[in-house]
Amino acid sequence: MNAVSHPELTKNQALVFGSLSQAGGPLTAYAILDQLRDSGFRAPLQVYRALDKLVEYGMVHRLESLNAFVACAHEGCTGHGAVAFAICEKCGDVREFSPDRAIALLKEWTETEGFRLTRTTIELRGICRQCSAAN
């Protein structure tokens, strides 16, 4: 999804989304702020407000373990209920994927336990194929 195709985006949201889309990897809110100072951003709150809406729209994901954000790799991300990330601890590469079988097991557990699931994000930390091959 691109910022132009989402009519509800404000100027700040479009700028933040553009910054994340072009980054090729996760960015912290402060890194985004640094990139967008010339576009009129002055305070972290401006970035966080835009990020909150972009996460709500399903266009951006928050990587809890990195305290960073990444643009969604899937068109219309809100269509899938859960997302997972494989994060390389060596090169920092982040791969987004939908772990359907794992999610099915988690949903089964939540139903059995009566746990009302509101959001699922799975983060796998390790070493990617390229970095493993380099050793």
Domain ranges, ordered by start, for the chain: 3-71, 80-134
The Cα 43–Cα 60 span in angstroms is 20
Hey, which CATH number is domain 3-71, 3.20.20.70, 3.40.50.2300, 3.30.300.30, 1.10.10.10? 1.10.10.10
- Write down the H helix ranges in 24-65: 29-36, 44-57
Q: Fold for domain 80-134?
A: Dna Ligase; domain 1 (3.30.1490)
Which of 8, 12, 9, 3 lies closest to 43, judged by CA? 12
Give residue 2's pLDDT: 44
CB 120 within 8 A of CB 82: yes
Report which residue type is found at 117.
Answer: L
Give residue 75's pLDDT: 59
Q: Is pLDDT of 109 > 60?
A: yes
The tokens describing 105, both together, are 């097991």
The tokens describing 134, both together, are 């380099």
Give residue 67's pLDDT: 93
Calculate the average pLDDT of the chain.
88
Q: What φ, ψ does residue 86 adopt, rounded to 5°?
A: -105, 115
Give residue 83's pLDDT: 83
The Cα 46–Cα 44 span in angstroms is 5
The tokens describing 125, both together, are 């930390």
CB 24 within 8 A of CB 35: no
Give residue 135's pLDDT: 75
**Do 3-71 and 80-134 show the same overall fold?**
no
- When pLDDT is averaged across residues 83-98 and rounded to a whole number, the result is 92
Strand order in the sheet with 94-97: 94-97, 82-88, 120-126
Give residue 62's pLDDT: 93
